[in-house]
């Protein structure tokens, strides 16, 4: 009986300490509004439109941005042949686009390029070996 009473007292003390701990924790979250916090602050979505003919063969690939709700769609004029353009990503600050380019389909030679959101400042970032993944090279983007 003494052990049961002592066990009950220990469990009660433990429960009270957990309740006190939970009450002392702050349960509010404050969003940071200054600086570059990523895509949600920019309200931009980046997407690739792929056009196909009636037989299902791809005929064009273009990169676009829009607001999160789909309004204000704008094409980014990237000066790369459409059949060379691979996956595209928007940088967290919403100012640049990073995308893959298939340089040679026979040797699997690829590269990562970047440009400004308006299509200017096109430049090669890095060559990609055939055994490397674009996603590994994109990092946090």
Q: What is the pLDDT of residues 19-29, one digit of tens each?
A: 655 555 544 44
Q: Which of residues 13 and 120 earns the better pLDDT score? A: 120
33: pLDDT strictly greater than 50: no
pLDDT at 94: 84
pLDDT at 140: 44
DSSP output for the chain: -HHHHHHHHHHHHHHHHHHHHHHHS--------SS---HHHHTEEEEEEEEE-TTS-EEEEEEEEEETTS-S-EEE---S-GGGEEEEEE-TTSSEEEEEEEEETTTTEEEEEEEETTS-S-EEEEEE-TTS-HHHHHTT-
48: pLDDT strictly greater than 80: yes
Q: Quick check: pTM over 0.85? A: no
30: pLDDT strictly greater than 50: no
Would you place residue 106 in the very low, low, confident or very high pLDDT band (cuts 50, 70, 90)?
Answer: low
Domain ranges of the chain: 39-138
């Amino acid at each position: 009986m003494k052990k049961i009473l002592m066990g009950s007292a220990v469990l009660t003390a433990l429960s009270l300490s957990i309740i006190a701990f939970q009450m002392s924790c702050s349960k509010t979250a404050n969003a940071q509004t200054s600086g570059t916090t990523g895509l949600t602050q920019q309200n931009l979505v980046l997407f690739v439109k792929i056009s196909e003919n009636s037989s299902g063969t791809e005929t064009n690939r273009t990169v676009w941005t829009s607001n999160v709700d789909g309004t204000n769609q704008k094409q980014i004029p990237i000066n790369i042949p459409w059949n060379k353009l691979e996956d595209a990503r928007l940088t967290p600050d919403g100012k640049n686009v990073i995308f893959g380019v298939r340089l040679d389909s026979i040797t699997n030679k690829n590269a990562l390029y970047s440009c400004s959101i308006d299509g200017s400042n096109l430049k090669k970032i890095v060559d990609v070996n055939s055994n490397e993944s674009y996603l590994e090279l994109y990092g946090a983007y």
